[in-house]
Amino acid sequence: MLKLSEMFKVLCFVAISSVSVAKATEIKQNAPEQYTVKKGDTLWQIAGMYLDQPWLWPKLWQKNPYIQNPHLIYPGDIIRLIKRPDGEIELELVRSEKRQVKLSPKTYKTIKVAEPIPALPWELLNSYIRKDMVIATGDYESLPYLLGDQEGAVRFATGDTVLGKHNSTGETQLKVIRARKEIFNHEGESLGLWVQHISSAEQTSANLDAGVLVELKDAKQEVKPGDRLLPATAAEAQSNLALNAATTQLGKIIASLHDHALLGKYDIAILDLGALDVEPGTVMGIYSQGPNIIDGDPIEYEEVEGLTNVSFIFNDQIQQPALKVGELVVFKVFDASSFGLITSSTKVIRSGSWVAKP
């Protein structure tokens, strides 16, 4: 396997075409001259109507002093293509009149009457998948957990009141989580426990010697004794993200939140990049590299059905280039890992694919 530094050279010089920002932000030929933002639109979708590389959306607004945050676009806003005297094309954003109050002939005060459109199509995703997280094994084991109920049941559902261990955080709005499995990077190092959001819960009594009583709300599957309790606000995903392209970051897809071996558009990938590497809104390209080719007689691949072909010892190996097969946007970041929504794919994406600058 290539070292990371060597692999990065492959990604940079073979898989990624060098395109200047000026050229990359050229408006598409078929871009609409005017578009009215609608409820249900996403920032990624609208940016894709104007740009081949949607993450460069903020570049289009650099010369417009009236747009303070190009990531906050609201239903009813109108986007127009404007041709400047020097021939350059730029975008103009006309705020909906419903969001403006005229104070004087030249002064407007903007008021918020609606939520900005989201960066990504969250409505296509299971809301509980968005609430999954990765935490250190020790942190998970130290969390309070559910014990049982008055009926002696071993399965609980929405509306049940369950006794749990004392909650030291003092939070009354909680979520019930369960460890799905431990995740590892491709060097075999543990990155923590992938935990699933099972149910919401509300603490109804805290002054009990035996523990606390919690009422289960909106359970998506059966709740069990031993499931952990966590404050409801812990590791919530942001709906509105500031999109920024990755630069020198390099990592791998190590798993899928759907637990599929093969991934595609709108699947959620788990990356081996953590809080020191990426942030919510980081856009990354996905790259696939074929197996090494053994240049011998006969010509063979180094790996066949996951087993190494020993003939490579006596012949030259040819490393194949890494080719871009998709893009993803990081939306949730943990200490040593992160979640990314795959926004495009040109072929099937597999665990082990590289992620780098788009």
CA geometry: angle at 98 spanning 94 and 103, to 5°? 85
207, pLDDT greater than 80: no
Our separate counts of H helices and E strands in the chain read 5, 26
315, pLDDT greater than 90: no
Q: Are 308 and 288 in contact (CB under 8 A)?
A: no
pLDDT of residue 17: 39
The CA distance from 330 to 342, in Å, is 9
- Kindly report whether the global pTM for this prediction surpasses the value 0.85: no
pLDDT of residue 11: 47
User: What is the pLDDT averaged over residues 156-184?
Assistant: 91
User: What is the pLDDT averaged over residues 105-119?
Assistant: 61
pLDDT of residue 306: 43
3-class DSSP assignment, residue 4 = helix
Q: Which one of 77-91, 92-106, 164-178, 306-320 scores highest in mean pLDDT? A: 164-178
Q: Phi and psi dihedrals of 43, rounded to 5? A: -60, -40
The CA distance from 65 to 73, in Å, is 15
- CB-count burial class (<10 Å; 0-12, 13-18, 19+) for 39: exposed
The CA distance from 28 to 48, in Å, is 9
Lowest mean pLDDT among 63-77, 145-159, 261-275: 63-77
The CA distance from 7 to 13, in Å, is 10
The CA distance from 271 to 185, in Å, is 9
pLDDT of residue 174: 93
2, pLDDT greater than 50: no
pLDDT of residue 5: 47
236, pLDDT greater than 80: no
pLDDT of residue 303: 63
The CA distance from 156 to 221, in Å, is 9
The CA distance from 46 to 312, in Å, is 49
User: What is the pLDDT averaged over residues 115-124?
Assistant: 73
Lowest mean pLDDT among 12-21, 56-65, 271-280, 282-291: 12-21
User: What's the mean pLDDT when you consider all of the chain?
Assistant: 80
pLDDT of residue 22: 42
Helix (H) or strand (E) holding 130: helix 127-130
pLDDT of residue 125: 64
- Exposure letters 107-128 (e unless 16+ CB within 10 A, then b): eeeeeeeeebbbbbeeeebeeb
- Exposure letters 55-91 (e unless 16+ CB within 10 A, then b): bbbbebbeeeeebeebbebbbbbebeeeeeeeeeebb
Q: Residue ranges per domain, the chain?
A: 31-117, 132-231, 244-356
CATH 3.30.70 fits 31-117, yes or no: no
pLDDT of residue 296: 75
The proportion of the chain whose per-residue pLDDT surpasses 90, expressed as a percent, equals: 38
pLDDT of residue 316: 73
pLDDT of residue 31: 85
User: What is the pLDDT averaged over residues 138-163?
Assistant: 94
Residue-wise pLDDT for 15-43, tens only, equals 443 344 444 457 788 888 889 988 888 88
183, pLDDT greater than 60: yes
pLDDT of residue 72: 78
Q: Are 251 and 273 in contact (CB under 8 A)?
A: yes
Q: How far is CA 8 from the centre of its chain?
A: 22
105, pLDDT greater than 80: no
- Exposure letters 154-176 (e unless 16+ CB within 10 A, then b): eebeeebebbbeebeeeeeebbb
User: What is the pLDDT averaged over residues 291-315?
Assistant: 61
Q: What is the CA radius of gyration of the chain?
A: 25
Pairing mode of beta strands 338-345, 268-271: antiparallel
The CA distance from 57 to 240, in Å, is 14
More confident residue, 82 or 203: 203
More confident residue, 345 or 25: 345
More confident residue, 28 or 283: 283
pLDDT band at 96 (very low <50, low <70, confident <90, very high): low
